Amino acid sequence: MMDFIVLFPLIVVGAGAIILMLMASMKSLGEGNTALAALGIFALAFAVQLMVSATESVTPYGGIFNGMLVANGFTKVAGLIIIASGFVSCLTAQSYFTQNKFYSAEFYSLIMFAACGMLLLTMSAELITLFISLEIMSLAIYVLVGYDRTNIKRSEAVLKYLMLGAFAGAFFTMGTAFVYAAVNSTRFVDIAGHLSTTSFLESPAMAAGAFLVIVAFLFKVAAFPFHAWVVDVYDGAPLPVTGFMATAVKTAVFAVFANFLIIDDGLKGVWVEYLFYIAVLTMFAGNLIAIGQNSLKRMLAASGIVHTGYLLVALVAVGTENFTGGVILYYLAAYAVATLGVFAALSYLGGENERRDTFEHFKGLAKVRPYSAAAITIFMLSMAGIPPTAGFMGKFYIIADAIRAGYMLLAVLAIVSSVLSMWYYLRLVVMMYFKEPEEEFETTGMSLAPIGTALLAVCVFAIGFYPVLL
């Protein structure tokens, strides 16, 4: 029974995606109704996922699936974040399509397919399953990025993402092959068993394999030096998709990245040294890019790179005593809430064809729409890590973990990077509050996103006062 409950959210989301796809053929179903159906499915999945009480690792249907999947507290929370991201992205999309007219019913179905792949990804305990789920997720996302195919900017973005994603996929399969050559198995458990008897560096195939797999991961989370695609792709994708990518994809990949890294101290010990430099470079490269941006979407994309850097700091420190994976998940949750909040707000403030998207456009928002401006300010403060928001607690845990693991320098550099990031987060607040309005910020149609924005703004504080999730 436990096995089934563990898999049930995955089944709900997967089946929901297929049902939505079938329903899309019935033209009568309107945009609003499809959105509501998608929201309902996500809500059901969330409720079920919340009920799963996996205190220890479960291998659902170990016999049938041959131990490909594993579920525990870590995957549960990662799943919750992903499902919640999907839910909010649907809310965002509903508002977005009241002003942008390229909607067709498969949109929600694709979001759900992507979410399904992500849920599977977090639970993977084996490299082939990992690859399959990674591709389920990626294919859906490729389509979503280029959904508005008449728009040249979207086409460019999807081309970039597809090409580079294909490279990353190739790296990953190559790495898997090498690992298989060394271990004769692709299961994480067997790899760990192999590493406990043989040293990591003694087996070149293992070293090469792990290297290639990690490169693929670094690409997916947009870490230095594989970060350059993010800004263009996030900018080119439709707004709700960008929000979904920035949060859910990152959560799924980081969850499996952490799962993979902590399979063995040997594996981690070798790579941690490099991850250290990658984390530092990711933070600073992200900041440098973000400071120069004028478009909000591009700024958020670049700041996403910086947050990847913080998460890498947490990964470097992972594996020491108690609060380990919890730190990563907590930070991901805090980041997801704030990012989705901003995207939800932008989806109804952006206007037709996302015409309002630079800092300049948001001049004086506080005078015209004070509640939206206040919510955006809360999200910005959370991303910048100002207490008492969730973002502050997330940074606190990461820095505490880094210091405890003995990486004082890394902690200090993370702080320096936070100070730098203050520049562009505050810039938006300054625009909204300290300038005179030039726009009316009119919105059209019935719209769900403002509700989502308000809800998330409350969540920023609610999560801030909630202890470490694991």
Partner 1 sequence: MYENILTVMIFLPILAGFGVLVLPMKNEAARAVGLVAAILVVILGLRIFFNFAGTGGFEFTERVELFESVGISYSLGVDGISFLVLMAGACLFPMAYLLLTTKNKGYYANMLIAQGAMIGAIAATDMILFYVFWEVMLLPIFFMIGLYGGPSRLHATLKITLYTIAGSLFMLAAIIYIGVVYHYQTGSWSFNITDLMALNLAGGPATAAFIFFMFAFAIKIPLFPFHTWLPDAYTEAPTAATFLLSAIMAKIGVYAVIRFVLPIFAEEFARFALLLAYSGVIGMMYCGIAAIAQKDFKRMLAFSSASHMGIIALGIFCMNLQALTGTLYQIVAHATSTGVLFLLLGIIEERMDTRTIGDLGGIAYKAPIFATFFAVAMLASVGLPGTSGFIGEFLIILGAVKFNITIGVLAGTTLIIGVCYMLWMFQRVFFEKLTEKTEKFTDLSPIETLTILPIVVLIIVMGIYPQPFLDKVAPAAKQQLAQVLTEQHQVADSADPLMEQIEQKN
Q: By C-beta, is 147 or 335 nearer to partner 1? A: 335
The minimum distance between CB 391 and partner 1, in angstroms, equals 12
Q: By C-beta, is 414 or 448 nearer to partner 1? A: 414
Q: In whole angstroms, what is the distance from residue 93 CA to residue 253 CA?
A: 23
SS (H, E, C) 141-170: HHHHHCCCCCCHHHHHHHHHHHHHHHHHHH
Q: By C-beta, is 233 or 318 nearer to partner 1? A: 318
Name the CA dihedral angle for 379, 300, 222, 226, rounded to a multiple of 10 degrees: -150
Looking at residue 125, the DSSP 8-state letter turns out to be -
Q: In whole angstroms, what is the distance from residue 225 CA to residue 439 CA?
A: 39
The minimum distance between CB 400 and partner 1, in angstroms, equals 5
Beta-bridge mates of residue 71? 58
The minimum distance between CB 385 and partner 1, in angstroms, equals 8
The minimum distance between CB 401 and partner 1, in angstroms, equals 9
Biggest alpha carbon distance in the chain?
A: 68
Instruction: Kindly list the residues in this chain that would bind partner 1 in the complex (CB under 8 A).
Output: 322-323, 374, 381, 385-388, 392, 396-397, 399-400, 403-404, 408, 411-412, 415, 418-419, 422-423, 426, 430, 433-434, 465, 467-468
Q: By C-beta, is 270 or 470 nearer to partner 1? A: 470
Q: In whole angstroms, what is the distance from residue 116 CA to residue 138 CA?
A: 11
The minimum distance between CB 204 and partner 1, in angstroms, equals 38
Q: By C-beta, is 96 or 284 nearer to partner 1? A: 284
Angstrom distances, CA of residue 215 to CA of 125, 170, 224: 19, 11, 10
Q: By C-beta, is 274 or 371 nearer to partner 1? A: 371
Count of alpha carbons within 13 angstroms of residue 430, beta-carbon side: 8
Q: In whole angstroms, what is the distance from residue 42 CA to residue 161 CA?
A: 26
Task: Give the dihedral sign, CA 77/162/227/301.
Answer: negative
The minimum distance between CB 285 and partner 1, in angstroms, equals 20
Q: In whole angstroms, what is the distance from residue 215 CA to residue 43 CA?
A: 35
- Crossing angle of helices 73-99/31-51, nearest 10°? 170
The minimum distance between CB 45 and partner 1, in angstroms, equals 29
CA 196 distance to own-chain centroid:
32
The minimum distance between CB 141 and partner 1, in angstroms, equals 34
**8 A C-beta contact, residue 74 and residue 259:** yes
Q: By C-beta, is 181 or 416 nearer to partner 1? A: 416
Q: In whole angstroms, what is the distance from residue 402 CA to residue 393 CA?
A: 14
* Class of residue 4 by CB neighbours under 10 A (exposed 0-12, middle 13-18, buried 19+): exposed
Q: By C-beta, is 15 or 430 nearer to partner 1? A: 430
Count of alpha carbons within 13 angstroms of residue 56, beta-carbon side: 0
Q: By C-beta, is 4 or 423 nearer to partner 1? A: 423
The minimum distance between CB 291 and partner 1, in angstroms, equals 13
ω into 388 cis (within 30 of 0): yes
Q: By C-beta, is 170 or 419 nearer to partner 1? A: 419
The minimum distance between CB 163 and partner 1, in angstroms, equals 39
Q: By C-beta, is 204 or 388 nearer to partner 1? A: 388
- The full DSSP string for 9-33 is HHHHHHHHHHHHHHHHTSTTS-HHH
The minimum distance between CB 393 and partner 1, in angstroms, equals 8
